[in-house]
Amino acid sequence: TRKPPLVLLGALALLALDVFPPEGIRQIMPLATLGRLVPFLFYLPMTSIWLWVCLFYFLLVSFRAREWTLIAIVYATVMLLPPAEGGLLQHGVFLKSNQNAPLEEFAGRSEKDFNTHQSDFYLTRLLSPSYALLRDMGLWPLDSYLAIKHGKFRTIRKFPHVFSASHNSSHESFVRLADRQLNTRWSPEGGKQNGDEWLHLYLRTPLWLYGIELSSGAFFTDFARGLRLSYLENCTGADAASNGQRNSFEHILTTAEWDGALAYTVDDYPYLQSPSYVKVYFPRPVLAQCLLIEQIGQSKHYDWSIARVRLIRADEID
């Protein structure tokens, strides 16, 4: 009873792999991978599950060894921590409040929205490992899958444009976004991500867009940790993001934590690629002349780097 059980060591190892590595590596760790493959398995966060497993075995060993002081410390911590943190056990923390959202969205649609084939297509993917993705994103990855699969990214050089940014607005740095060199980049050059960085794209002519690629190129750890995109159908110029018009931008999407680019298997099941692939697809096509890309995440160790910008034109999709 004095030796730590192998289950405890395994739980601690899995917990460490799930918590301590950088974000890009953490996505391929065992627990994160299992959570994507089995959508109904992890309604509870894995950190919480393994924390309680470790606590159980720790108490079991302590009881058998009659370590009453350790037991008292653990008991006091468990009793005092939730009130001190302001309610860790609120609804939606341990049990995700949106767990049934995609099923409810599907059930709430009119029968006119689907024929039999389309209904089977949606249900098959809802009852699959893709459910975890659809729970967090909604049904639009299924609504738009044909456009996303067949859309082609075009280099920003093909469209007359002007960039501006919150940091590092030199012309030389913006040229790197269209120079075909994935080992050159634009970045705020802050050495970290604070959540207040933005890049603004002004197009000389408004375009119907279905997505944008913000490739980090050779700097694969420097992807945005969170993204918010908005647009203006018509705008006055490249300074639209900084001259008081920002409140008039229309929202496209917000991803508080960037988990990777949307992709599809050969059988059209949606999944997320590695976070270093920053291809942002829109839930709907937008007619945009100004596009505002905000980096809203945080990272103490990695900058936000963009080596290439490409666009998907909605009017080019068959």
39-74: pLDDT as tens digits: 555 544 555 566 666 677 667 776 777 776 766 666
Of residues 4 and 242, the one with the higher pLDDT is: 242
297 Cβ partners below 8 Å, 6+ apart? 193, 195, 224, 225, 226, 227, 256, 257, 258
Query: Region 188-208: what's the mean pLDDT?
Result: 90
Q: Which is more confidently placed, 94 or 154?
A: 154
Ordered structural domains, the chain, with CATH: 6-84 (no CATH), 101-143 (no CATH), 152-316 (2.60.120.260)
Amino acid at 305: S
Output the pLDDT for position 217: 85
Where does the pLDDT of residue 37 fall: very low under 50, low under 70, confident under 90, or very high at 90 and above? low
Say if residues 48 and 35 touch (Cβ distance below 8 Å): no
Higher pLDDT, 79 or 178: 178
Mean of pLDDT over the chain: 79
Judged by DSSP in three states, 23 sits in helix
Q: Is 82 helix (H, G, I), strand (E, B) or coil?
A: helix
Tell me the two tokens of residue 241.
Answer: 């993001």
- pLDDT at position 246, please? 73
pTM score? 0.68
Alpha helices, H only, the chain? 6-19, 23-26, 30-37, 46-65, 68-84, 101-108, 116-126, 131-137, 140-143, 145-150, 171-175
Q: How confident is the model at residue 316 (pLDDT cuts 50, 70, 90)?
A: confident
**The residue type at 92:** G
Residue whose C-alpha is closest to residue 41's, from 110, 157, 131:
131
pLDDT in tens, 267-291: 889 988 888 889 999 999 999 999 9
CA angle 310, 316, 317 (to 5 degrees): 100
pLDDT value of position 95: 46
